[in-house]
Amino acid sequence: MRYILAVPMEAFFDVLEQLYKKVLLGATLENENHDYIFYLNPASLDQDCSTAASSECPNPHGVQDKHQPSSANLATISAVPVCLKKHSPIRSAREVMLLQLTVIKVMITRILSVETDFRAKEKYRDTIKVLLKSSDIDSKLTCMFQNSDKLLSHMAAKCLALLLYFQLREKITLSNSWIAFCQKNLSEYPENEKAVYCLWTLTVIIKEIFKDTCSQKTEILKQFLTPFDTIFEVFYNSLFSQHFEGCQDTSKIINSLICFLELLELLIASRIHLKLHFTCQRILFLKPSCVLDVITWPVQAFVKRKFIIFIKKCLLWKVGEDLCRGSSPVLMPPDGHLDADMLALADAVLRAVDLGLLRTLSVHGKPPCFGGDEIQPTCERVPGPDHVILRAASLLIIKSVEIKVQSCASADEMKVDLQSFMCELLTFLKPHLQPSLQSHNLCEWISKVFIEQDDDMLEAAKASLGIYLKLTRQCKATESSTQEKEMWNHHTHEYGYNPHCIFLFLLKNIGFDSSVLLDFLISSETCFLEYFVRYLKLLQKDWAHFFTICKYFDVTESKDSINICGCSSSLVQDGSSNQTELSPSAAPGSPRSAHASISWASNVSSGSLSHLVISKETHATLQADSLPPLRASQSLVDYDSSDDSEAEGTDQHSANSKQTSLHQEAMKKSQDPVGTGTDKKQLRLEPQSRPLVPKQSNSPFSVDCDRVPNNVSEVGISYTTLKCFEELQGAIYRLQKKNLFPYNATALLKLLKHIEAIYNESMNAL
């Protein structure tokens, strides 16, 4: 015999509320599983709660031929063959259904939590399994997707996603009805508007896979993606082939774009971190132009912003970083297929730039602010570009150029690509930067664009350093002539990627504060460790160029007494046969080159170049007195021992080197003078009081300008830099001695010590 059980709405709600409180606390359930299923099954309220209750008598709880609640602890249940009263308020029915979904959601969350008691977890697991078997809950929740009540629709999608993930984790076969529902709606887009619900549910499931601590993530994801691999490509083509201009209701397209973008990021992240190779995970790399075209659509700025940032994160291997942090390996193993895909994406970005992407990209309008882009009517809007788009587009291009250059075998091809795309980027940036780059060293663009975003600034600096190192190796391998090397060094300034200038501008931005560098080294949120070590290794071998560039910085800071810009044009025009024109980084030799006058031409559009003009006599002296190169340390950072680490490669995998954040405690201890002893003296720069710039030599100046000072500064920027390094050494040493530094920094200290020795040797040579 069939029983139709009716419970007053208030009593039903009270029982659910008690159950919710128990599950929320993680308490063990004492009753039979079917007692709870009676209250958790949403069949009784599967009507649209926004409409009036039907005059027909529905099955209030859908519990037929099932075990009825037996415990009085659950509720006092009166079994009478009547329906819920017709005059029961619609609001109460909605509240009961929302509470049902909430209890199911919290129960699954408790099952997945490692903090839940084992007995309680087993009881929750059995309850959910019985719920899945005793009712077609997947279909019921799917039907709620289009409910006019948005909160109910959202909770149904969230609850369904968790139930599906529970089935995946417990190796329960997924509902065929739900798989068919998603396949149908995704393949029929844009005619079918239900696709967005499928996208949202799929996204939540993959997020749960990432968040879970189990060791079977790869197998679970493989099982989940298999039915959808081909259908994603169909949806991808349909979504990006729409004609946005002719669409009357653009909000639906934008909603679909944003939902799919989040899912696409998770698919790519799963490929990087979980090592799967489904077609749906590679679709962006196979057809990157589809995504890049959205940037040129007449769509709202926030959509373009999201797409540019998404592509940037892909190239930086940072997709899904919030979900993968803590579970990703310290060093990513090589993946040749992924490297090839990243190169394809970088090529697509550069092709788009070549076709005029930056010329069509508008950075004007409402700049993004915290909490939105609207301001009070009484407040005045500060004019200016959208710096978020400026930063993202700049990093997108410099990273694409680096990936492209790393794959080139010809130095000439590298230089052509580099000059072309860097010229496009600088031309794009110049109108939006104040003060304009035209009156400054072009290498300052990184510091100016990324002044408010440390992590992106360091990524851009690292990418430009990678470009410089690759070109340097290629020039050495091809045995380029001296003139070719000088011209190339000259171009490093003209196109804004000279590593010494970029690093000095970085130090100037932070006021040469060693505590900020220490913060960067300890933090896991930036790539500063890798960038800093690679730069220090370059600095060991390229000290003379660094010192020469320091002189330029000293001169420009003394422009109260010298008009650098006025001298620049005369230097370029007055070059004669007894002078050699070089870029600052091309002047080899000892710090005696400080006496050579320096000029920088800043107008890129007119084709003028950056020059350092040195007399032949001085140039010969510099070459004769050049410092013998000291052995460069090959270590990056030694995590396990004090031995030197392997020489760094150019692969992107090194960007995943992980640093543990111990900033708060470390910053306190870094100022602690206790425990330094005689080691502090060893870390001290010697001699501290020696003037940086040597006294005037008899070598003639090439600049016919009486305003050039004989001695730019008693304490110049090179001394300030080395002083900053000295303070950083001391802070690292103190922390490491007390086991407070997050990794073994012995190799890093060796590098800093070696730079100090080079500096002292160069000073003694004077």
Residue 544 has pLDDT above 80, yes or no: yes
Among the listed ranges 228-237, 549-558, 740-749, which one has the minimum average pLDDT value?
549-558
Q: Which of 79-88, 482-491, 620-629 has the highest mean pLDDT?
A: 482-491
Sequence-distant (≥ 6) Cβ neighbours of residue 632 within 8 angstroms: 537, 540, 541, 754
Residue 580 binned pLDDT confidence (cut-offs 50, 70, 90):
very low
Tokens of 495: 């196109």
Q: Name 613's bridge partners.
A: 581
Of 135 and 675, which is predicted with more confidence? 135
Position 388, amino acid: V
Of 478 and 74, which is predicted with more confidence? 478
Residue 66 has pLDDT above 80, yes or no: no
Tokens of 539: 């600095």
Residue 6 binned pLDDT confidence (cut-offs 50, 70, 90):
low
Tokens of 9: 């709405």
Q: What is the C-alpha separation between 268 and 315, in angstroms, rounded?
A: 11
- For range 669-697, the mean pLDDT: 39
Residue with tokens 């980084």: 585
For residue 580, how far is the Cα from the chain centroid? Answer: 44
Residue with tokens 């069939």: 2
- For range 476-493, the mean pLDDT: 76
Residue 312 CB coordination number (10 Å): 23
Among the listed ranges 295-299, 345-349, 668-672, which one has the minimum average pLDDT value?
668-672
Q: Is the bond into 190 cis (omega within 30 degrees of 0)?
A: yes
pLDDT for the residue numbered 559: 59
Tokens of 643: 């031995």
pLDDT for the residue numbered 22: 92
Residue with tokens 């040797």: 761
Tokens of 419: 């000059």
Sequence-distant (≥ 6) Cβ neighbours of residue 251 within 8 angstroms: none
Residue 474 binned pLDDT confidence (cut-offs 50, 70, 90):
confident
Q: Name 579's bridge partners.
A: 615
Question: In whole numbers, what is the pLDDT of the chain averaged over residues?
Answer: 74
Radius of gyration of the chain from its Cα atoms, rounded to whole angstroms: 33
End-to-end CA distance of the chain: 106
pLDDT for the residue numbered 73: 46
| Backbone φ and ψ of 361, nearest 5° | -85, 115
Residue 597 binned pLDDT confidence (cut-offs 50, 70, 90):
very low
The upper half-sphere exposure of residue 451, i.e. CA atoms within 13 Å in the direction of its Cβ, equals: 12
Residue 45 has pLDDT above 60, yes or no: no
Tokens of 433: 């930067």
pLDDT for the residue numbered 438: 53
- For range 188-199, the mean pLDDT: 88
For residue 554, how far is the Cα from the chain centroid? Answer: 35
Of 325 and 89, which is predicted with more confidence? 325
Residue 383 binned pLDDT confidence (cut-offs 50, 70, 90):
low
- Cβ–Cβ under 8 Å, residues 581 and 611: yes
pLDDT for the residue numbered 681: 39
Which long-range CB contacts under 8 A does 172-178 form with residues at least 24 apart? 172/129, 172/132, 174/224, 174/227, 175/138, 175/139, 177/136, 177/138, 177/139, 177/142, 178/138, 178/139, 178/142
3-state secondary structure of 100: helix
- For range 127-143, the mean pLDDT: 87
Residue 518 has pLDDT above 70, yes or no: yes
pLDDT for the residue numbered 9: 72
Residue among 384, 399, 397 nearest 352 (CA): 397
Tokens of 248: 């009357």
Residue 324 has pLDDT above 60, yes or no: yes
- For range 259-268, the mean pLDDT: 94
pLDDT for the residue numbered 34: 79
Residue 369 binned pLDDT confidence (cut-offs 50, 70, 90):
low
Q: What is the C-alpha separation between 293 and 291, in angstroms, rounded?
A: 5
pLDDT for the residue numbered 733: 94
Residue 696 has pLDDT above 90, yes or no: no
Residue with tokens 């995504």: 291
Sequence-distant (≥ 6) Cβ neighbours of residue 486 within 8 angstroms: 582, 583, 586
- Cβ–Cβ under 8 Å, residues 493 and 586: no
pLDDT for the residue numbered 203: 94
- Cβ–Cβ under 8 Å, residues 202 and 145: no
pLDDT for the residue numbered 682: 40
- Cβ–Cβ under 8 Å, residues 419 and 413: no
Q: What is the C-alpha separation between 204 and 509, in angstroms, rounded?
A: 41
Instruction: Give tens-digit pLDDT for 726-761.
Output: 999 999 999 999 999 999 999 999 999 999 999 988
Residue 199 binned pLDDT confidence (cut-offs 50, 70, 90):
very high
Tokens of 424: 């496009």
- For range 541-570, the mean pLDDT: 69
Which long-range CB contacts under 8 A does 178-186 form with residues at least 24 apart? 178/138, 178/139, 178/142, 179/227, 181/142, 182/228, 182/231, 183/227, 183/228, 183/231, 186/228, 186/231, 186/232, 186/234, 186/235
Tokens of 279: 């077609």
Q: In what side-by-side order are the strands of the sheet with 579-582?
A: 579-582, 610-615, 598-600
Tokens of 253: 């397209």
Residue among 672, 694, 682, 654 nearest 752 (CA): 682
Residue 92 binned pLDDT confidence (cut-offs 50, 70, 90):
low
Position 590, amino acid: S
Of 186 and 764, which is predicted with more confidence? 186
pLDDT for the residue numbered 587: 39
Residue 316 has pLDDT above 70, yes or no: yes
- Cβ–Cβ under 8 Å, residues 128 and 166: yes
Instruction: Give tens-digit pLDDT for 648-682.
Output: 444 444 444 434 334 444 444 444 443 444 343 34
Q: What Å distances lie between residue 491 and 35, 200, 437, 729, CA to CA? A: 77, 49, 16, 34
Of 701 and 66, which is predicted with more confidence? 66
- For range 709-716, the mean pLDDT: 50
Of 472 and 335, which is predicted with more confidence? 472
Residue 424 has pLDDT above 90, yes or no: yes
